Amino acid sequence: MNRARIFLAAMPALAGPAGAANVAMAFGDNLPPFILVKEDAGIEVELVREALAYRGHVLQARYLPMGRIPASFKTRAVDAIMMDVGEDMTPHGGYYGTPPVIYDNVFYTLKRSKLVIRRPEDLQGHTVISFVGAAARYPVWLQPLTRGHDYVESNHQESQPLLLALGRYEIVLSDRSIFQYYTRMQRKREPGFVMPPVDEHSFIRADAGDYRPVFRSAAIRDDFNAGLAHLHKSGRYRAIYDKYLKD
């Protein structure tokens, strides 16, 4: 029995005032390393599963397109959602919890390029690849680029480290953990691959409020928050991240 299973097996004994419950929770549809649908795993999924298990609850993950997540809560198809996707769930009986993860998007450049990115204008004249929907999320920074041919949005983020390393694009916009994960996967696919030194350019401050889970039960929300705090305190939180991001 591995450490994670031992950890989870011991948790039901800590059942709190909400009592043990099966919690059907909607997550986004596949976003490695945070959400791995086929494996019913990923950083985000494992953190939520273990935080709920701290007081005896059992996660039943439901994977949906992002646009369907708010409706799944409002129609009572699920007991909780990983995030509200910009729609306040309080009027629909939602209780907000502590975010288990916060996506931290930054610009990556090769260190040898010596690019400096401090203002939107600094992106002009350079080739940029990002995830789909990035220009809509960061219009001040990216919308001007969409009028040219040097800006591309792609769902295939697994190719970003290689494209940057080969110089196909000068700038990559990615979450730090996603970029690190796919760099690791590239090394596994090609053992001889070496990622050149890169610079990270922060350009916005992530809003933790955008990543808060929503629960139908205030008691289960409280149990989840307690479990998440325990994961931080025990070191298990970091261990789950390291499982996906370190060799």
Judgement on whether residues 94 and 119 belong to the same structural domain of the protein: no
Judgement on whether residues 134 and 89 belong to the same structural domain of the protein: no
Give the E-state strand segments of the chain in sequence order.
22-27, 58-63, 80-81, 95-96, 105-110, 128-130, 151-153, 171-175, 198-202, 214-215
Judgement on whether residues 181 and 59 belong to the same structural domain of the protein: no
Beta partners for residue 214, in sequence order: 81, 96
Distance CA 7, CA 126 (A): 48
Judgement on whether residues 98 and 212 belong to the same structural domain of the protein: yes
Residue pLDDT, tens place only, 98-153: 999 999 999 999 999 999 999 999 999 999 999 999 999 999 999 999 999 999 99
Residue finishing a domain among 171, 186, 202: 202
Judgement on whether residues 73 and 110 belong to the same structural domain of the protein: no
Residue 52 has pLDDT above 80, yes or no: yes
Number of domains in the chain: 2
Judgement on whether residues 163 and 182 belong to the same structural domain of the protein: yes
Mean pLDDT of 35-64: 98
Judgement on whether residues 46 and 164 belong to the same structural domain of the protein: no
Judgement on whether residues 181 and 66 belong to the same structural domain of the protein: no
Judgement on whether residues 184 and 215 belong to the same structural domain of the protein: no
Judgement on whether residues 97 and 126 belong to the same structural domain of the protein: no
Give the closest residue to 101 by CA, choosing from 48, 38, 179, 50: 48
Could you count the other beta carbons within 10 Å of the beta carbon of residue 229? 14
The token pair at 96 is: 């907000």
CATH code for position 128: 3.40.190.10
182: amino acid identity, one letter: Y
Residue 19 has pLDDT above 60, yes or no: yes
Judgement on whether residues 80 and 116 belong to the same structural domain of the protein: no
Residue pLDDT, tens place only, 26-45: 999 999 999 999 999 999 99
User: 135: domain range?
Assistant: 105-202
Judgement on whether residues 8 and 95 belong to the same structural domain of the protein: yes
Residue pLDDT, tens place only, 74-99: 999 999 999 999 999 999 999 999 99
